[in-house]
Amino acid sequence: MSIFIILTLLGFLRFTSEAASVFSFTIHSCSTSNRTYFEPNSTFQANLNVLLSSLTSNASLPDGYYRTTVSPSSPSNVTGLFLCRGDTTPAVCQSCVAAASMEITRRCPNQTESIIWYNVCMLRYSNRDLNPLVPYVPLGNISTIAISERDRFDAVLVNMLNDVTGKANTQTGKKFATAEVDFTSSETLYFLAQCIPDSSNSICYSCFRSAIGFLPDCCSGSKGATILVPLCNIRYEFYPFYNRAVVSSEPLVPPTSGSRNILLLVATLVPVLVALALLVLGCCFLRKRASKKYNTYTFTEDSTGIDLSGIESLKFELAAIEAATKKFSDENKIGQGGYGAVYKGILANGQEIAVKRLLATSLQGALEFTNEAALMVKLQHRNLVRLLGFCLEGQEKILVYEYIPNKSLDKFLFDLQRKRILDWPKRYKIIVGVARGMLYLHEDSQLRIIHRDLKASNVLLDANMNPKISDFGVAKIFHGDQTQLNTRRIVGTRGYMSPEYAMRGQISVKSDVFSFGVLVLEIITGQKNTDLYQSHQANDLLSYAWNNWTQKTPLELLDPTLRGSYSRNEAIRCIHIALLCVQENPSYRPTMATIVLMLNSYSVTLPLPQKPASLMHRRTPDR
């Protein structure tokens, strides 16, 4: 009898300690689309409460998945579902879903659509059809694999991810599978894939494909990654993050027989009492930790505390932005880029902002925009313009940046008077700063971002003439790749576009490297590449640079206003690097990491550049 109680207690303790891992990450997204809020005490609220409690009660069933609609034929209908990770016990699943139901109403108090993910469960509701593929959240493990191992690692990943997702998809019942493989004699890689059980094989297949497709962007080289999509998720790590006992269908608790002796009873009783005390402490600790996590965003720390609830503080009211920019008046307009116009604004509190009003051509959903803008805000680097927040109201999608008082680089570089301010040390500092900012976008931030429109007018100069790259991440927020594939609309600026991008729409970090090369040549010569291009002279800037290079007169390229102030070595090295960047074959172009290294260290020997891509042979892109 007492053994029975103790075992029950043990079971309970096991469940609570597992419950700790339930909380190890919490990510949510409240929809802001159309500002569809429900009124307190409305029918919708009542329906939502019914929904959440029926989800919670069904979570104790062994399926680990349930979807239902409350009042399907009323205008206040609400549909919701939860999915528990395939290896969770019903008890853990229920505690996770219960926590999720409570937390989602706390975090999204009056939204008609929300989603929340915990480590072992996901819960979602909406008053309209649920798009199973948005929002998605990529989480990269901060530790990375050694460069020398990357190729082999990637090959293993591709293989194993195909295996594990294929296996998950063919399961009857839970579409859930795990797999492990020995990467080295001492390191094992663990994989998990899961899709919502009642979905068709073909939709799960395409969900898994897109989840795997996010990996290069978010998690290239990461030792672990998690991609959360409402319909499916994948994860891999170098440690067993799922319950291997359940997965290999061994019983969780050894079968108990009645013939345990008294020694065992004592041996278990003491730990139980200790554990009970710990449990009480643990609960307080958990509560504290949990509530602390909700306010912080530890994306780079351990990638477990993503909290999109901070989003609320990043949101700007459209009315406030209209007031700040005098309703987007022309006199406030300070620029126009591939994705929309930029306005200067002054907020009611006196803060100056730059407002980018995105063209309303994006196919992207509001949740996704919000999601990504929140991630972009976390990108911080001294050579990037800071994104302060965003606004999403009706058809408006707006990004709000810090305002940089000095003008953009082109306003100095191509102005006969102002270019004199840019002596060689300043220009060199700008080249190095832009390289560092680009490196951060490409490799050092958790998201791999391809700028796609790097040019002099997108480099802003602060009061100390430090360069700050602007407009980064817009391509990502716009899902530029997809937009371009679907509409063949190529965003970018003539003269800066690599040939493979301008002609075939191929985008990679190397297309940014090409633009960087053109920018460096412009900084050195003080001449606009597009000027030469548009005047249809036989010599564009690249051939002009190349000719001087092959004739061993590289210093001829220097802007005449630099005479006297430049360092010969630095200038020649910059020209050399620029020529490496604008080579026709993307694979010959160095990466930003190599470029930063080349700029920092003279001990790095530079390869000889090949003839640059000729701008003159390029087809005019559709714009």
Nearest CA-CA partner of 603 in 560, 554, 566, 569 = 569
By CB under 6 A, tell whether 127 contacts ligand NAG. yes
* Least distance to ligand NAG, CB of residue 235, Å: 9
Determine the number of helices (DSSP H) and then strands (DSSP E) in the chain: 20, 17
- Is the bond preceding residue 135 a cis peptide, omega within 30 degrees? yes
* Least distance to ligand NAG, CB of residue 566, Å: 46
Identified binder of ligand NAG from the candidate list 21, 43, 49, 54, rule CB under 6 A: 54
Q: Please count the residues of this chain forming the interface with ligand NAG, following the rule CB under 6 A.
A: 29
* Binders in 304-333 for ligand NAG, by CB under 6 A: 304
* Least distance to ligand NAG, CB of residue 192, Å: 12
Q: Do 122 and 228 form a contact (C-beta atoms < 8 A)?
A: yes
DSSP type of residue 37: B
Residue 184 to residues 59, 187, 236, 431, 434, Cα–Cα distance (Å) = 39, 5, 16, 41, 39
* Least distance to ligand NAG, CB of residue 547, Å: 51
Q: Which stretch binds ligand NAG (CB under 6 A): 212-220, 236-244, 495-503, 607-615?
A: 236-244
Q: What percent of the chain is helix, strand and coil (3-state, nearest 5)?
A: 45, 15, 35
Run of H or E including 201 = helix 201-219
Nearest CA-CA partner of 594 in 517, 501, 519 = 517
By CB under 6 A, tell whether 141 contacts ligand NAG. yes
* Least distance to ligand NAG, CB of residue 598, Å: 31
By CB under 6 A, tell whether 300 contacts ligand NAG. no
What is the rounded CA–CA span in Å between residue 597 and residue 345? 38
* Least distance to ligand NAG, CB of residue 81, Å: 11
Q: Which stretch binds ligand NAG (CB under 6 A): 5-13, 52-60, 259-267, 282-290?
A: 52-60
Q: What is the CB-side half-sphere exposure of residue 426 using CA atoms within 13 A? A: 17
Nearest CA-CA partner of 317 in 347, 358, 351, 360 = 347
By CB under 6 A, tell whether 350 contacts ligand NAG. no
Identified binder of ligand NAG from the candidate list 173, 216, 271, 394, rule CB under 6 A: 394
Q: Is 453 a catalytic residue?
A: yes
Identified binder of ligand NAG from the candidate list 47, 169, 303, 309, rule CB under 6 A: 303
Q: Do 324 and 301 form a contact (C-beta atoms < 8 A)?
A: no
* Binders in 77-116 for ligand NAG, by CB under 6 A: 77, 109-110
Nearer to ligand NAG, 108 or 596 (CB): 108
Q: For the sheet containing 333-337, what is the strand order?
A: 333-337, 340-346, 352-358, 396-402, 387-393
Identified binder of ligand NAG from the candidate list 73, 349, 464, 620, rule CB under 6 A: 73
In this structure, what token pair is assigned to residue 2? 């007492």
What is the rounded CA–CA span in Å between residue 130 and residue 121? 17
Q: Do 334 and 343 form a contact (C-beta atoms < 8 A)?
A: yes
Q: Which stretch binds ligand NAG (CB under 6 A): 279-287, 299-307, 519-527, 596-604?
A: 299-307
Q: Which stretch binds ligand NAG (CB under 6 A): 3-11, 168-176, 280-288, 301-309?
A: 301-309
What is the rounded CA–CA span in Å between residue 390 and residue 333? 18
By CB under 6 A, tell whether 58 contacts ligand NAG. yes
Nearer to ligand NAG, 224 or 612 (CB): 224
By CB under 6 A, tell whether 37 contacts ligand NAG. yes
Among the listed residues 453, 471, 512, 540, the single catalytic one is 453
* Least distance to ligand NAG, CB of residue 487, Å: 22
Judge whether 411 is annotated as a binding position.
no
Where does this chain bind ligand NAG (CB under 6 A)? 34, 36-37, 40-41, 54, 57-58, 61, 68, 73-75, 77, 109-110, 127-128, 141, 143, 223-224, 237-239, 302-304, 394
- Hey, which residues are catalytic here? 453
Instruction: Mark the binding-site residues, compressed into ranges.
Output: 356
